[in-house]
C-alpha cells in the first residue's frame, strides 16, 4: 500500500469514526427505512442460500448483516466489516438483541483486512464500496476472500445529478444560501458517487480478477416514513447540513424551503423521492 493510499484510508476512517458514523448511528432507524428497498434489490441480486458464509462490506449499523443472516439461517454465517466503531457497536447490540450468534462484526478496512482466503461463498455491500482509496486493490482483496465461483453483489449510487433524493434539499435551500464550495475536481475520489461511472466499475472489477460482471441501472423512489423524518435526513446527511452550519442566520428560511419541497413528495407510503443506483454483480473465477 502506498503512502498516499494509506493516508486516504486514514482520512476515511477518521471521517466515519468522528463525523459520519456517529450521525448515522443516531439516525439508524430513519436511514435503514430509507435504504431498505435498495438493500432488498441488491440482496435479491446476490440470491443468498441457506448455509452460506457471507461477507458484508461496509456493514454500518448491521441492518444488511441481519437481513443476510435471515436469508441463510440457520446454518450459515455473516461477517460484517466496517471502519466505523460507533456503527459496529450498534450493529453488535442489534445482532445480540435479534438472537443471531452466527453474525459477527470486525473493525477493519476491506481494502487491506486480512480475510481468510476462500472463506466466503459470497460478498455483499450496500453503499460500502465507494470509499476505497484503491478500489482495484480492495476488490482484489475481497475476491481472495471468496471461494472459487463465489459471488459478489453490491448497490452504489449513480451520478448525483440523477438522484433528486440527494439534490432536492440543496436546490430548495439555494435561493436563501450563499453558493456552497465547489465539489472535488476528481469525480473518482473516494466518496458516495465515486462509482457513478458504470464502465469504470466494470474495469475495476475486471482488473481485480472478477468475471461475469453485470452493472444494471436500478431506479426506485425511496425516502422517509414522515415529513419530519425526511427533513431530519436532509438537514443531517449530505451537503445541506454543512451549508447551514456555516450560515446559521439563514437556517430558518432554508429549513422552511426544504420542508415545502419535500412535502410535494408526500403520499400514503411516505415522503418518496426518485433515486438512481447501480446493482452490480460478479463472480470469482472457478
Please compute, for residue 281, the number of CA atoms within 13 A of its CA located in the half-sphere on the CB side: 16
Query: What pLDDT does 183 receive?
Result: 59
Q: So what's the pLDDT on residue 21?
A: 67
Cis omega (within 30 of 0) for bond into 74: yes
C-alpha torsion 160→238→15→33, nearest 10 = -90
Sequential pLDDT tens for the chain (286 residues)? 444 444 446 777 787 777 666 787 888 999 999 999 999 999 999 999 999 999 999 999 999 999 999 999 878 999 999 999 999 999 999 999 999 999 999 999 999 999 999 999 999 999 999 999 999 999 999 999 999 999 999 999 999 999 998 899 999 999 988 866 555 568 888 999 999 999 999 999 999 999 999 999 999 999 999 999 999 999 988 788 888 888 889 999 999 999 999 999 999 999 999 999 999 999 999 8
Distance from C-alpha of 143 to C-alpha of 140, rounded to nearest angstrom? 5
Record: fold of 3-159+186-222+275-283: Rossmann fold (3.40.50)
Domains of the chain by residue range = 3-159+186-222+275-283
Cα–Cα distance measured from residue 169 to residue 75, given in angstroms and rounded to the nearest whole number: 44
Could you tell me which of 120, 50, 28, 39 has the C-alpha nearest to residue 81? 120
Distance separating alpha carbons of residues 124 and 64, to the nearest angstrom: 9
73 φ, ψ (degrees, to nearest 5): -60, 145
Q: So what's the pLDDT on residue 5? A: 46
Per-residue model confidence (pLDDT) at position 3: 43
Give the β-pairing of 146-157 and 270-283: antiparallel
Secondary structure string (H, E, C) spanning 196-257: CCHHHHHHHHHHCCCEEEEEEEEEEEEEECCHHHHHHHHHHCCHHHHHHHHCHHHHHHHHHH
Amino acid at each position: 500500500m502506498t503512502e498516499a493510499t494509506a493516508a486516504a484510508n486514514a482520512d476515511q476512517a477518521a471521517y466515519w469514526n468522528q463525523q459520519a458514523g456517529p450521525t448515522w448511528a443516531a439516525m439508524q432507524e430513519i436511514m435503514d427505512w430509507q435504504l431498505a428497498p435498495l438493500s432488498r434489490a441488491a440482496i435479491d441480486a446476490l440470491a443468498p442460500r441457506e448455509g452460506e458464509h457471507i461477507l458484508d462490506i461496509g456493514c454500518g449499523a448491521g441492518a444488511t448483516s441481519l437481513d443476510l443472516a435471515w436469508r441463510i439461517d440457520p446454518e450459515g454465517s455473516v461477517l460484517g466489516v466496517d471502519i466505523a466503531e460507533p456503527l459496529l457497536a450498534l450493529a453488535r447490540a442489534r445482532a445480540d438483541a435479534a438472537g443471531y450468534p452466527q453474525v459477527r462484526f470486525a473493525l477493519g478496512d476491506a481494502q487491506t483486512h486480512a480475510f481468510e482466503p476462500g472463506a466466503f461463498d459470497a460478498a455483499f455491500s450496500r453503499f460500502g464500496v465507494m470509499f476505497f482509496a484503491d478500489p482495484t486493490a480492495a476488490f482484489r482483496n475481497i475476491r481472495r476472500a471468496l471461494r472459487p465461483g463465489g459471488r459478489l453483489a453490491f448497490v452504489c449510487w449513480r451520478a448525483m445529478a440523477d438522484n433528486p433524493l440527494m439534490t432536492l434539499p440543496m436546490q430548495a435551500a439555494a435561493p436563501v444560501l450563499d453558493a456552497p464550495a465547489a465539489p472535488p475536481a476528481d469525480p473518482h475520489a473516494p466518496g458516495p458517487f465515486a462509482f457513478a461511472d458504470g464502465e469504470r466499475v466494470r474495469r475495476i472489477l475486471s482488473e481485480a480478477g472478477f468475471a461475469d460482471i453485470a452493472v444494471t441501472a436500478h431506479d426506485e423512489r425511496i425516502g422517509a416514513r414522515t415529513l419530519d423524518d425526511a427533513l431530519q435526513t436532509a438537514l443531517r446527511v449530505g451537503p445541506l447540513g454543512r451549508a447551514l452550519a456555516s450560515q446559521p442566520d439563514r437556517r430558518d428560511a432554508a429549513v422552511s424551503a426544504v420542508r415545502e419541497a419535500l412535502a410535494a413528495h408526500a403520499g400514503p407510503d411516505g415522503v418518496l423521492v426518485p433515486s438512481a443506483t447501480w446493482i452490480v454483480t460478479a463472480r470469482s473465477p472457478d
